[in-house]
């Protein structure tokens, strides 16, 4: 520091840098001390960070790597540990749920509470997009609260549906059936489809033309009864819905029913065995079963 050059600007009373350009001098206004020291602290912090955390790249002769730092921090190990810890905490329940039969779970209040709570969380994340947060369903995605089941409402049936999905082709054990596209594949004439539409409306107790429905009855007998049964009450082994009740997957107006028969829908539900573990799937089955529409095995046999 050349203190003898000290040169103070008369107007502001501030020291100048001593440089002079064509008579113009530059004021010397240093950074505030607190700012400067904060800056030095961050530099020291950065150096410390370099040493403590993985940071410095080096070439180990064959490939590039980075130092692990003093504490050898690894976020992936941290998650793995957190996941493991959580699993360990839940293990007594998870194991019990995987091991127990459904009848045992339903009979054991504690297991039941755990399964129901876990199932309801998993349902919101994985199923609510299609079946709704309250499992009330949407057009083309069935309501799971009622006792009108496409593929069966025993807890085992539900478990099977969730595990392997419905028409989910990547899963070899998926539930499968295919209603033909009677119109677009030219199996039936448009007139026949109109008639059988009227017959379906008659079955469902909707307003219909009796004359057309009478003609439609023959078509139904020939083309539809293999799946929907002669009385229209459906067949759970093929996921064919009961057409005589007031519950409609796709809607009960004439155009919608006509379209269903013309194009067929063959809705798809994903299989969950790849995405969720067995304990979660079992919890989900318990949850769905308990929503109100679950069917006792003995009832199912009686139907």
Q: Applying CB under 6 A, which residues contact ligand HEC? A: 126-127, 129-131, 141-142, 144, 149-151, 158, 161-162, 166, 177-180, 182, 196, 200, 223-224, 226-228, 238-241, 243, 248-250, 257, 260-261, 265-267, 269-270, 272, 284, 288
Does 76 help bind another protein (rule: CB under 8 A)? yes
Contact 174, 168 (CB under 8 A): yes
Select 51 or 77, whichever has its Cβ closest to another protein: 77
Task: Using CB under 8 A, pick the residue from 158, 200, 269, 288 that binds another protein.
Answer: 269
DSSP structure string for 75-144: HHHHHHHHHHHHHHHHHHHHHHHHHS-HHHHHH-HHHHHHHHHHHHHHHHHHTHHHH-TTS--BTTB--S
**Binder of residue 76, out of ligand HEC, another protein, none (CB less than 5 to 8 A by kind):** another protein
**CA–CA distances in Å: residue 105 to residues 81, 154, 157, 171, 278:** 29, 14, 16, 27, 14
Rounded distance between C-alpha atoms, residue 269 and residue 295, angstroms: 21
Q: Using CB under 8 A, which of 9, 65, 221, 299 touches another protein?
A: 65
Q: How many helices (H) and strands (E) does the chain have?
A: 12, 4
Residues 226 and 144: beta-carbon distance below 8 Å: no
Cα of 111 vs its chain's centroid, Å: 24
Q: How far is the CB of 234 from another protein (least distance, A)?
A: 21
* One of 119, 239, 241, 270 touching another protein (CB under 8 A): 270
135 binds, among ligand HEC, another protein, none (CB under 5 to 8 A by kind): none
Give me the residues that bind another protein (CB under 8 A), please.
Answer: 1-2, 5, 17-19, 28, 57, 63-65, 75-80, 82-84, 86, 125-126, 128-130, 132, 138-141, 168, 170, 267-270, 274-275
């Amino acid at each position: 520091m050349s203190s003898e050059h000290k040169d103070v600007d008369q107007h502001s009373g501030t020291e100048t840098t001593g440089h002079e350009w064509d008579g113009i001098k530059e004021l010397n206004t240093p950074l505030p001390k607190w700012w400067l020291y904060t800056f030095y602290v961050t530099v020291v912090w950065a150096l410390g960070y370099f040493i403590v955390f993985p940071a410095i790249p080096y070439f180990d002769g064959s490939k590039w790597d980075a130092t692990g730092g003093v504490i050898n921090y690894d976020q992936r190990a941290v998650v793995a540990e957190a996941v493991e810890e959580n699993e360990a905490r839940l293990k007594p329940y998870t194991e019990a749920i995987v091991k127990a039969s459904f009848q045992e779970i339903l009979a054991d209040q504690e297991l039941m509470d755990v399964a129901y709570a876990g199932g309801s969380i998993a349902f919101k994340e994985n199923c609510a997009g299609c079946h709704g947060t309250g499992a009330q369903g949407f057009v083309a995605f069935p309501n799971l609260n009622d006792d009108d089941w496409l593929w069966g409402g025993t807890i085992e049936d539900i478990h099977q549906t969730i595990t392997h999905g419905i028409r989910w082709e990547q899963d070899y054990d998926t539930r499968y059936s295919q209603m033909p596209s009677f119109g677009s594949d030219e199996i039936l004439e448009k007139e026949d489809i109109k008639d059988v539409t009227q017959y379906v409306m008659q079955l469902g107790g909707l307003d219909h033309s009796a004359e057309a429905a009478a003609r439609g009855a023959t078509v139904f007998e020939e083309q539809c009864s293999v799946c929907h049964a002669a009385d229209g009450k459906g067949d759970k082994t093929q996921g064919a819905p009961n057409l005589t009740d007031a519950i409609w997957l796709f809607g009960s107006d004439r155009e919608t029913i006509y379209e269903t028969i013309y194009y067929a829908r063959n809705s798809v539900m994903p299989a969950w065995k790849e995405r969720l573990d067995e304990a979660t799937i079992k919890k989900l089955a318990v949850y769905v079963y308990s929503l109100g529409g679950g069917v006792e095995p003995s009832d199912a046999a009686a139907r």
